[in-house]
Amino acid sequence: MAHSNIFSAGLAASALMLAAAVSVIFISDPAPQASAQTSQFASADAPRTPRHRAANAAERMRVIDGDTLEDTRDEITYRVVNIDTPETGSRARCAAERELGNRATATVRTLIAETRRVDLRPTGRIDRYGRTIAYVVLDGRDMGEMLIAAGLARPWRGRREPWCDTNGNLIP
């Protein structure tokens, strides 16, 4: 009988872990409205419990840089999947990279502040800095694709590539 209870508890714990691994975190305003757009990353049928709500997405998400966000309530740092944005601060290799990185960061802050719904879908991978790699979808639109289209990011090719040439100019 004890083995049966242990097995049942283990099975329940495994089911909860699996559910957590495939869930989408919803951050919505208190009265979410149906969107005409649907996202391949967000499920319209996913449960919306109080744990997945915030009054304002901007209050919950902290923008670290153009491709890194932190969920301040759950203390999870997310790296946006499939993009690379220029570095900011001392990590930038030239002034042009730093300026473009600052623009990317400011743009993400504005996008987050103006969005009604932020959908985060972890890929199940963690990068070498401990960040959860995830799709970030803002009101049904992929944030990474938006940044690439705006010229503030480029597709991630598996490793960091330089943004500056030897003269300090941006590499197209």
3-state secondary structure the chain: CHHHHHHHHHHHHHHHHHHHHHCCEEEECCCCCCCCCCCCCCCCCCCCCHHHCCCCHHHHEEEEECCEEEECCCCEEEEECCEECCCCHHHCCCHHHHHHHHHHHHHHHHHHHHCCEEEEEEEEEECCCCCEEEEEEECCEEHHHHHHHCCCCEECCCCCCCCECCCCCECC
- Check residue 160 and give its pLDDT: 87
Decide if pLDDT at 118 tops 60: yes
The pLDDT tens digits of the residues spanning 39-53 come to 333 333 333 433 333
- Check residue 39 and give its pLDDT: 34
The pLDDT tens digits of the residues spanning 20-30 come to 333 333 443 33
Bigger pLDDT: 76 vs 43: 76
How is the chain split into domains, by residue range? 49-155
Give the CA radius of gyration of the chain: 19
- pTM (predicted TM-score): 0.68
The pLDDT tens digits of the residues spanning 80-101 come to 999 999 999 999 999 999 999 9
CA distance 15 to 122: 18
Decide if pLDDT at 129 tops 70: yes
CATH of 49-155, one of 3.40.50.12780, 3.20.20.100, 2.40.50.90, 3.40.50.300: 2.40.50.90
The pLDDT tens digits of the residues spanning 150-172 come to 999 999 998 889 999 999 999 98
Decide if pLDDT at 78 tops 80: yes
